């Protein structure tokens, strides 16, 4: 049995507009200037407090915990607005349908989102029950710490060499490799392909069809 873990934001769903909007509200309410868009998207994948600390350049005076609370509040507000959208990237719904129908694979999620946030995404897209393990910022240290992957493997009984993480950031790649798992990077997310390669990606794909082939090719190579 193989375990395929997916990051959420930037890998399964395109949430960049709502992330930037929520950050804008949070920083405005804290009366702080919003960092550039590229800086905001560059920390996607980290747990919230760690993300805010990075945006504050690790200055101990920076109100990272308060900004994290303000961001959560803003995101909840945005989720209730009529134009709220976290669409899946092209082909990813079909990919999940295909993989979840196979009897040689288990699917999981490892994300900096909260359990509540993941549940909202899965419910919106009708994906409840597809993922046998869901590891979030509520359950483990922030990426790139390997705890999420370790916990997913422990929950499913799948060994590290039979586990792959699919993600769009260097944090995902480093986390997977630190846990002894395989790592495949997707080019449609928030970190540049070259950074993914430098961070340990063993494959880099440009669309969902290529990802499906890469998953099987990865284990053919390992075998």
Specify whether 101 is located in the same domain as 197: yes
Pairing assessment for the beta strands 133-135 and 163-167 based on DSSP bridges: unpaired
What is the percentage of the chain residues whose pLDDT exceeds 70?
A: 99
pLDDT bucket at 221, cuts 50 / 70 / 90: low
**pLDDT above 60 for 103:** yes
Bridge partners of residue 204, in order along the sequence: 185
DSSP letter, residue 88: B
Q: Distance (Å, rounded) from C-alpha 154 to C-alpha 114?
A: 20
Specify whether 104 is located in the same domain as 188: yes
Specify whether 74 is located in the same domain as 104: no
pLDDT of residue 223: 41
The residue out of 36, 52, 79 marking a domain boundary is 79
CATH of residue 63's domain is: 1.10.150
User: What sign does the CA torsion over 174, 180, 185, 190 have?
Assistant: negative
**Neighbour-count burial of 103, counting CB atoms closer than 10 A to its CB (0-12 exposed, 13-18 middle, 19+ buried):** exposed
* 46-76 pLDDT, tens digit each: 999 999 999 999 899 999 999 999 999 999 9
Active site members:
7, 9
The residue out of 79, 95, 113 marking a domain boundary is 79
Specify whether 103 is located in the same domain as 195: yes
The residue out of 58, 79, 100 marking a domain boundary is 79
Specify whether 74 is located in the same domain as 132: no
Counted domains in the chain: 2
Specify whether 58 is located in the same domain as 129: no
pTM: 0.92
CATH of residue 168's domain is: 3.40.50.1000
What is the span of the domain harbouring residue 65?
A: 16-79
Specify whether 114 is located in the same domain as 161: yes
């Amino acid at each position: 049995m193989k375990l395929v873990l997916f990051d959420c934001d930037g890998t399964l769903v395109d949430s960049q507009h709502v992330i930037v909007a929520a950050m804008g509200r949070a920083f405005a309410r804290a009366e702080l200037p919003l960092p550039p868009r590229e800086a905001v998207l560059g920390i996607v994948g980290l747990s919230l407090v760690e993300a805010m600390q990075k945006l504050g350049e690790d200055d101990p005076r920076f109100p990272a915990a308060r900004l994290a609370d303000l961001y959560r509040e803003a995101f909840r507000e945005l989720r209730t607005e009529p134009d709220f959208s976290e669409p899946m990237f092209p082909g990813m719904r079909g990919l999940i349908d295909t993989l979840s129908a196979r009897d040689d694979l288990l699917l999981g999620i490892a994300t900096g989102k909260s359990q509540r946030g993941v549940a909202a995404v899965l419910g919106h897209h009708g994906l409840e029950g597809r993922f046998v393990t869901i590891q979030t910022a509520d359950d483990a240290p922030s990426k790139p710490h390997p705890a999420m992957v370790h916990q997913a493997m422990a929950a499913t009984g799948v060994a590290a060499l039979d586990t792959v993480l699919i993600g769009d950031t260097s944090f995902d790649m480093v986390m997977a490799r630190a846990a002894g798992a395989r790592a495949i990077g997707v080019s449609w997310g928030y970190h540049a392909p070259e950074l993914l390669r430098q961070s340990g990606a063993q494959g880099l794909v440009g669309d969902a069809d290529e990802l499906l082939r890469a998953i099987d090719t990865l284990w053919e190579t390992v075998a």
